[in-house]
Amino acid sequence: MGDLSDRDLESLTAELEALRERNERLAERVETLEDELSRTTDRVDDLETETTRTSAAVDAAHRRSGANKSRIEELQARELEKGAHLREENVDHCEIEVDGGQLEKIEKDDGEPYFRLPGSADPLGRGGNVALAHGDLLPIQQLAKMDEDMLRSTTNALPSRLAAKLWNARTDPTVGDDPWQTGCKTVREYVKASDLKHWIRRQEPGTSDAYAKKLVSRTIDALLDLSKNRLAVRRKRERKNGLEYTERRVLLTADAEIPGETGSGGSGTASASPKTTAVHGGG
Residue 39 covered by a domain? no
What's the pLDDT at 265? 39
Residue 4 covered by a domain? no
Per-residue model confidence as pLDDT tens digits over 139-178: 998 888 888 888 888 888 999 999 999 999 998 888 889 9
Determine the angle formed by the axes of helices 209-226 and 158-171, rounding to 10 degrees. Answer: 70
Per the CB < 8 A criterion, the answer to whether 106 and 119 are in contact is no
Q: Which domain holds residue 195?
A: 138-258
What's the pLDDT at 82? 83
What's the pLDDT at 175? 84
Of residues 219 and 260, which shows the higher confidence score?
A: 219
What's the pLDDT at 269? 35
Residue 206 covered by a domain? yes
Residue 14 covered by a domain? no
Number of C-beta neighbours around residue 44 at 10 A: 10
**Number of domains within the chain:** 1
Determine the angle formed by the axes of helices 209-226 and 193-203, rounding to 10 degrees. Answer: 110
Of residues 237 and 198, which shows the higher confidence score?
A: 198
Of residues 25 and 62, which shows the higher confidence score?
A: 25
Residue 164 covered by a domain? yes
> Range with the lowest mean pLDDT among 93-102, 109-118, 234-243, 264-273?
264-273
pTM of the model: 0.51
Residue 180 covered by a domain? yes
Whole-angstrom CA distances from 262 to 70, 198, 243, 258, 269 are 43, 29, 38, 8, 6
Q: What is the DSSP letter of 111?
A: S
Instruction: For residue 3, report the phi and psi dihedrals to the nearest 5 degrees.
Output: -65, 150
What's the pLDDT at 81? 83
Per-residue model confidence as pLDDT tens digits over 100-132: 777 777 777 777 888 888 767 776 766 666 655
* In the predicted structure, residue 209 carries a pLDDT above the cut 60: yes
Residue 86 covered by a domain? no
Burial class (CB in 10 A: 0-12, 13-18, 19+), 89: exposed
SS (H, E, C) 37-104: HHHHHHHHHHHHHHHHHHHHHHHHHHHHHHHHHHHHHHHHHHHHHCCCCEEHHHCCCCCCCCCCCEEE
What's the pLDDT at 268? 38
Residue 276 covered by a domain? no
